[in-house]
Amino acid sequence: MMVDVLVIGSGGAGLVAALSAKEAGASVTVVGKSYPTRSQTSMAQGGINAALANVDEDSVSIHIADTLKSAQGLASEDAIKSLCEEGVDAVEWLDRIGVPFSRTSEGKIAQRRLGGA
């Protein structure tokens, strides 16, 4: 069998790579050691840090400040800013493509403080 793109791994990164390649017109095969819903990404269930503004005291600037504080000088400030600024769009994209998130009674993606935040 010939394909344009062979993705090894059915976790979050592998499936995003496969989806991106497919959207670009490539034929894609994903090979993983388990079914995608049993991947480490889906089993971790810790959450994704993003400032969705669904709760009080939430913004990208607060997220950046919290992350810089938690990093204790061990992380790149530019990388933290980039991840925090792009995190909202990434979570909204995941929601649009059908990734199941816990919801509030108003139907918004549920938020909570994650470890270190």
Cα 37–38–44 angle (5° rounding)?
Answer: 100
* Domain match, 51 and 37 both: no
Establish how many alpha carbons lie within 13 A of residue 87's alpha carbon, considering only the half-sphere containing its beta carbon.
20
Q: Residue 22 has what pLDDT?
A: 98
- Residue that the structure tokens 């959450």 belong to: 47
The reported pLDDT for the residue numbered 115 is 64
Q: What is the pLDDT of residue 116?
A: 59
d(CA 65, CA 83): 12
Specify whether 53 is located in the same domain as 41.
no
Q: Same structural domain for residues 109 and 67?
A: yes
33 with 64, same domain: the answer is no
Give the pLDDT of residue 45: 67
| Domain housing 97 | 46-117
Predicted pLDDT at 100: 85
- The pLDDT of residue 18 is 96
Identify whether residues 52 and 78 lie together within a single domain: yes
| pTM for the full predicted model | 0.76
User: Residue 8 pairs with which residues in a beta bridge?
Assistant: 31
| Amino acid at the residue 101 | F
Same domain flag for 22 and 67: no
Residues 79, 96, single domain; the answer is yes
Is 112 in contact with 49 (CB distance < 8 Å)? no
Which residues, given as ranges, of the chain have pLDDT below 50?
Answer: none
Residue 107, pLDDT score: 92
